[in-house]
Amino acid sequence: MTELLSPVSSPDVITPYAEKQSIKHWEKNPSPVLKDANAAVQKHFRKNSHVINIAEGNHFKDGVFLAPEFSGRQVLRIGQRRGEQDWFVRGGSAHNVSFGIIEIRDSETGEVKLLNVAVKPFKQTAKGIIEIKNTLKVLDRGFKTVHPICFISEEDSGFLVSVARTDTKTLDSEPWSQFHTGEFLAKTYFEQLIHRNAVLLADLHASGIRHSDPQLKNFWVTPRGNVEGIDWEASTVYPIPVSEESFLTASMDDLPTYFYSLCGISPREDEQRSSSVEILVGTRDKRWQQFNDLFLRFYSLRAFERLLDDFAIEGDRLIELFNDADNESQLQEMLKTNLGI
């Protein structure tokens, strides 16, 4: 019996794959957009010496996806084997991802290999195709992220199948409440995580990649403490060299998105904003200046002013925090100016 490694998120529902997903047998020709994805994925993985299977057309039978590009040599079975049935594990993550295994069998040798996979549903096939293409572009520019395996299309919806990472945690799943205990170790740890997140965003920007949805749930931490980006559906990958002006204009909304996500992580409303700002300001090691140099300089002043306007209701508390921290940075002056203090 094959056992699946523990998924990233604990499953909240376990049902037979066929009943849960109700994927129909295809009788129509694959759509042009799916063919487009096929070409994009195959090009990337062949270039990197990987085998890729795209399930499309009438190639779904009894839970097995057969990819015609390889003349029947590769067969994919999605599910988690428990006894005599294939089961599909529903995850509880923010991305509505499910987890299972892919069984790759060579029809000539009979050799079977099992791979842990994550399956992300898309209500619209086109959006899934966009995520595949953007993910491959991010990989091509040297960044670590999820590795797509195939896209399964069901009429106008579909599923993106990627290699599952069972050893990572998204930033929003970290025990952020520990930060509020005031322990030095906890504060230092979270400051380091946010700083590493800033380094990643700066590197992405320098490579012409705009994430566009930089919420904490869209970044994960590896066992070695590295921060990597995921969920590239809304991202934009600009040609090199990057036009700084167009990049800054397009990314004006990204900064508030990031800060809102950061300030929503505390379980207690009265601690949300002040604690998050304290992380960013960095009452030790002058991390705020580093964060500003790495991250904020990639965004326009208009974006920052908009952020401050949204935080105006907390202005007194923020200034009090800065005074307590004895921080006389340029940010404090901007806060005073924009809040009319």
pLDDT at 229: 94
- Domain positions in the chain are 13-163, 169-338
Higher pLDDT, 135 or 324: 135
The residue that leads in pLDDT, 333 or 62, is 333
Q: How does pLDDT run across 267-282, given as a tens digit for each residue?
A: 344 444 444 455 454 4
pLDDT at 21: 27
pLDDT, residue 262, reads 67
E strand or H helix at 94: none
Contact 194, 281 (CB under 8 A): no
Q: How far apart are CA 136 and CA 130, in angstroms?
A: 10
pLDDT tier at 320 (50, 70, 90 boundaries)? low
Residue 151, burial from CB neighbour count under 10 angstroms (0-12, 13-18, 19+): buried
Q: Which range is least confidently modeled, 53-67, 148-162, 274-288? A: 53-67
Structural fold of domain 169-338: Transferase(Phosphotransferase); domain 1 (1.10.510)
DSSP element (H, E) containing 90: strand 85-90
Q: Rounded distance, CA 295 to CA 307, Å?
A: 14
Instruction: List the beta bridge partners of residue 114.
Output: 103
What's the confidence (pLDDT) of residue 68?
35
The mean per-residue pLDDT over the stretch 163-190 comes to: 63
The span from the CA of 181 to the CA of 187, in Å, is 9
d(CA 125, CA 222): 30
pLDDT band (50, 70, 90) for residue 292: low
For residue 241, whether the previous peptide bond is cis, meaning omega lies within 30 degrees of 0, is yes
C-alpha distances in Å from residue 143, one per residue of 51, 79, 120, 172, 216: 20, 29, 20, 21, 18
Q: Does the pTM exceed 0.75?
A: no
Quote the pLDDT of residue 228. Answer: 94
Angle between helix 301-310 and helix 254-263 axes, rounded to 10 deg: 30
The predicted pLDDT at position 159 comes to 73
> What sign does the dihedral 147-143-226-273 (CA atoms) show?
negative
Place of tokens 């595949």: 132
Q: Which of 97-101, 228-232, 294-298, 315-319 has the lowest mean pLDDT?
A: 315-319
**pLDDT of 211-252, one tens digit each?**
888 888 899 888 888 899 999 988 988 887 777 677 766 776
Comparing 341 with 276, which gets the higher pLDDT?
276
